């Protein structure tokens, strides 16, 4: 069974070398000195390695069970959850006014990436609770905040998000779940929600469901949807638990992965709920959490790639097979370790160069999100809104690819569940789907984010990359290996933007047909940008770290970044080839 070691040194390099966090003008960042972040990350790594990783495969094998209407999580989950709570990890980046520790979201993201790598199913219980916390924190009344936030922060109560129904996922305008106003100001919620992660379990004494529903008489479409707080157990004045509410689990789904997290069909039968935020503005309330939620999912995709890669490296070092092309590397042994073989090395370098670049992209994004939310920086808000679909789509698509590559290193042993390599792939697979399937991320990117504010945020990103290349042109160590390929990727991205701008208004299908390729072109450029910036700051790192970082970066620039040209070629082929075959002819 694979172990897991948190990449503390690499995260520290990104936080302090690349992002220079403690000198950023963002509330709370001043405290983020290297010693502090190292202590937090190291302890998170210990919990991940000692508490969460050992439950990962067992949780996959055992799964969740529905017994007498209640979900039982896998053996050990409850004790581990209590340990995580006791360590204060659930409160890390929450508001001190309600019992949180007030650290930046950036640190919360880094820690959740570590926890997810060790055990994604387990960490989801906490992640969904954080989402509910954020929604109530942003939109709740003072009374709602006082009642719910402290217990969500401590994870004495957990949270869920109830959006999907059988007939609608992406297109929430088709929603049927109904809310009927009551004389006391509450609502009665009736309907079925599907695919509700952490919908029920035995880890906490109460579950606070956030439920999208349509108030009787509301407008059609997504403009008539409201958001409700629906506790599993009603909550009295002092936070005491009262009667069981009219919400129950219809079934739990048998699914490809994340078996340790219960994915439930939830039945609301006149359940008592309270409006969160404004009537008919439920979608807007959800959207304020979307960036945070999608960053979290991107982190999960990256985390599975990271965990799988660690296992693949260990196996490649230890498994003996064949001889190196340049002569035996292990002449005393019966064969050389796999890692001597260039095609194995290529696979490991694909994984490593993606993972380190993606980690930088994700943490940079988390910092932008803090800057937008905590420093009220409108430019950061615009930029992060543009980048989020790229981050979510690219990191999860590539994350899956990397788990496939890592599994492949194991040969037949990778196909056997015992080695744990299958689970990384199966768990990673959901990240491409939930929180908006990646096709929807691509749509959001080209149809909403790219043209928003007259394309100002896209121009700002292109300008940042362009300025970096110009500013560092004199650095001979960067020029050929980093700046030149980054410049080519940037030109490809600019050409794609121009192509869309010239055609978007007249040919909407041209833009949509190129949306996924645009997302990947953009994603590669972001990672190329991260790598060039990391190469610059790595020059002053200690020798071993510097050499490894530069070699890994050069690999990305030489072998992965040229994919931008392929994506541009596909985009430029337009909608014709995509739409030529009529729907009836399929």
Just list the catalytic residues: 435
- Tell me the three state secondary structure of residue 230: strand
Gyration radius of the chain's alpha carbons: 24
CA nearest 73: which of 264, 210, 246, 232?
264
Residue closer to a copy of itself (CB basis): 240 or 326: 326
Q: Using the minimum distance from each CB to a copy of itself, give the nearer residue, 234 or 566.
A: 566
- DSSP class of residue 475 equals -
Judged by beta carbon, residue 190 or residue 408, the one nearer a copy of itself is 408
At its nearest, how many Å lie between a copy of itself and the CB of residue 582?
Answer: 9
Give CA–CA dist 424/440, Å, rounded.
Answer: 24
Q: Which residues contact 543 (CB under 8 A, 6 or more apart)?
A: none
Structure tokens at 342: 């260039």
Task: With CA atoms as reference, report the closest residue to 269 among 249, 252, 247, 251.
Answer: 247
Q: How far is the CB of 129 from a copy of itself (least distance, A)?
A: 21
Q: How far is the CB of 471 from a copy of itself (least distance, A)?
A: 25
- Nearest-angstrom CA–CA distance, 185 and 193: 23
Least CB distance to a copy of itself at residue 508 (A): 4
Q: Are 367 and 106 in contact (CB under 8 A)?
A: yes
Judged by DSSP in three states, 243 sits in strand
Query: C-alpha 109: how far from its chain's center?
Result: 9
Question: Considering beta carbons, is residue 187 or 555 the nearer one to a copy of itself?
Answer: 555
Least distance CB 400 / a copy of itself (angstroms): 7
User: Tokens at residue 205, please?
Assistant: 């004494």
Q: Is the separation of the CB atoms in 253 and 265 below 8 Å?
A: yes
The minimum distance between CB 518 and a copy of itself, in angstroms, equals 10
Contact 428, 305 (CB under 8 A): yes
Compute the C-alpha angle 36/27/210, nearest 5°.
Answer: 95
Instruction: Please provide residue 201's backbone torsions phi and psi, each rounded to the nearest 5 degrees.
Output: 180, 180
* Cβ distance to a copy of itself smaller for residue 348 or 369: 348
Separation of alpha carbons 190 and 389, rounded Å: 32
Q: Both ends of the chain: CA-CA distance in Å? A: 44
* Residue whose CB is less far from a copy of itself, 267 or 345: 345
Q: What is the DSSP letter of 171?
A: -
Tally the C-alpha atoms within 13 A of residue 270's C-alpha that lie toward its C-beta.
1
- Candidates 135, 318, 337, 146; CA nearest to 227 is 135
Task: Indicate the residue among 365 and 560 with the shorter CB distance to a copy of itself.
Answer: 560
User: Is 406 within 8 Å of 61 (Cβ atoms)?
Assistant: no
Which are the contacts of 125, defined by CB distance < 8 A and separation ≥ 6? 81, 155, 158, 198, 201, 203, 261
Contact 203, 125 (CB under 8 A): yes
- In the 8-state DSSP scheme, what is residue 337? B
Q: How far is the CB of 398 from a copy of itself (least distance, A)?
A: 12
* Beta carbon nearer to a copy of itself, 248 or 432: 432
Please, are residues 498 and 512 in contact by the beta-carbon 8 Å criterion?
Answer: no
573, burial (CB in 10 Å: exposed 0-12, middle 13-18, buried 19+): middle
Interior/surface letters 67-94, b for 16+ CB within 10 angstroms, e for the rest: eeeebbbbebbeebbeebbeeebbbbbb
Q: Which two tokens stand for residue 565?
A: 């040209």
Cβ distance to a copy of itself smaller for residue 225 or 348: 348
| Minimum CB distance to a copy of itself, residue 554 (Å) | 5
Residue 399 Cβ, how far from a copy of itself at the closest point, in Å?
Answer: 12
For residue 229, give the nearest of 144, 301, 163 by alpha carbon. 144
Q: Report the 10 Å Cβ neighbour count for 20.
A: 13
Closest approach of Cβ 51 to a copy of itself, in Å? 25
Q: Which residue has tokens 């919360």?
A: 108
Which residue lies nearer to a copy of itself by CB, 111 or 535? 535
Q: Whose Cβ is closer to a copy of itself: residue 322's or residue 463's?
A: 322
Going by the DSSP 8-state scheme, the letter that residue 7 receives in this structure is -
**Nearest distance, CB of residue 136 and a copy of itself, angstroms:** 25
């Amino acid at each position: 069974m694979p172990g897991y070691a948190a990449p503390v040194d690499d995260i520290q390099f990104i936080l302090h070398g690349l992002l220079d966090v403690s000198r950023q003008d963002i509330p709370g960042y001043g405290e983020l000195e290297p010693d502090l972040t190292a202590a937090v990350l190291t302890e998170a790594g210990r919990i991940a390695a000692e508490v969460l990783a050992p439950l990962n495969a067992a949780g996959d094998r055992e799964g969740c069970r529905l017994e007498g209407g209640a979900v039982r999580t896998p053996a050990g989950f409850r004790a581990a959850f209590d340990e995580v709570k006791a360590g204060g990890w659930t409160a890390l980046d929450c508001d001190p006014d309600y019992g949180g520790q007030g650290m930046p979201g950036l640190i919360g993201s880094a820690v959740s990436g570590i926890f997810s790598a060790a055990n994604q199913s387990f960490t989801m219980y906490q992640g969904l609770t954080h989402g509910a916390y954020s929604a109530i924190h942003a939109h709740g009344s003072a009374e709602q905040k006082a009642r719910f936030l402290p217990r969500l922060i401590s994870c004495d109560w957990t949270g869920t998000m109830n959006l999907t129904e059988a007939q609608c996922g992406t297109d929430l305008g088709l929603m049927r779940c109904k809310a009927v106003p009551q004389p006391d100001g509450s609502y009665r919620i009736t309907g079925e929600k599907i695919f509700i992660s952490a919908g029920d379990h035995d880890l906490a004494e109460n579950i606070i469901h956030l439920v999208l529903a349509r108030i009787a008489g509301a407008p059609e479409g997504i403009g008539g949807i409201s958001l409700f707080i629906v506790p599993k157990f009603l909550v009295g004045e002092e936070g005491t638990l009262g009667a069981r509410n009219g919400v129950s689990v219809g079934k739990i789904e048998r699914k490809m992965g994340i078996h340790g997290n219960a994915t439930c069909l939830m039945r609301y039968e006149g359940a008592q709920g309270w409006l969160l935020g404004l009537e008919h503005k439920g979608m807007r309330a959800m959207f304020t959490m979307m960036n945070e939620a999608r960053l979290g999912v991107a982190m999960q995709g990256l985390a599975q790639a990271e965990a799988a890669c660690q296992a693949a490296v260990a196996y490649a070092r230890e498994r003996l097979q064949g001889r190196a092309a340049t002569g035996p590397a292990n002449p005393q042994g019966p064969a050389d370790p796999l890692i001597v073989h260039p095609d194995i090395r290529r696979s490991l370098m694909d994984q490593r160069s993606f993972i380190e670049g993606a980690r930088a992209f994700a943490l940079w994004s988390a910092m932008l999100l803090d800057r937008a939310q905590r420093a009220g920086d409108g430019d950061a808000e615009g930029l992060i809104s543009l980048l989020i679909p790229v981050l979510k789509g690219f990191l999860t698509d590539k994350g899956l690819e990397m788990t496939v590559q890592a599994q492949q290193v194991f040969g037949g042993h990778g196909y056997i569940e015992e080695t744990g390599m299958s689970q990384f792939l199966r768990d990673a697979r959901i990240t491409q789907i939930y929180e908006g399937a990646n096709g929807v991320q691509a749509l959001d990117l080209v149809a909403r984010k790219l043209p928003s504010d007259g394309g100002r945020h896209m121009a700002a990103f292109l300008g940042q990359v362009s300025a970096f290349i110009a500013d560092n042109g004199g650095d001979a160590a960067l020029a050929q290996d980093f700046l030149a390929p980054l410049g080519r990727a940037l030109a490809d991205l600019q050409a794609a933007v121009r192509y869309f701008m010239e055609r978007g208004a007249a040919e909407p299908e041209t833009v949509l047909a190129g949306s996924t390729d645009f997302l990947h072109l953009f994603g590669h450029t972001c990672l190329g940008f991260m790598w060039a910036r990391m190469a610059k700051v790595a020059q002053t790192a200690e020798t071993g770290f510097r050499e490894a970082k530069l070699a890994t970066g050069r690999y990305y620039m030489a072998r992965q970044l040229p994919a931008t040209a392929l994506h541009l070629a596909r985009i430029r082929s337009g909608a014709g080839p995509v739409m030529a075959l009529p729907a009836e002819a399929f």
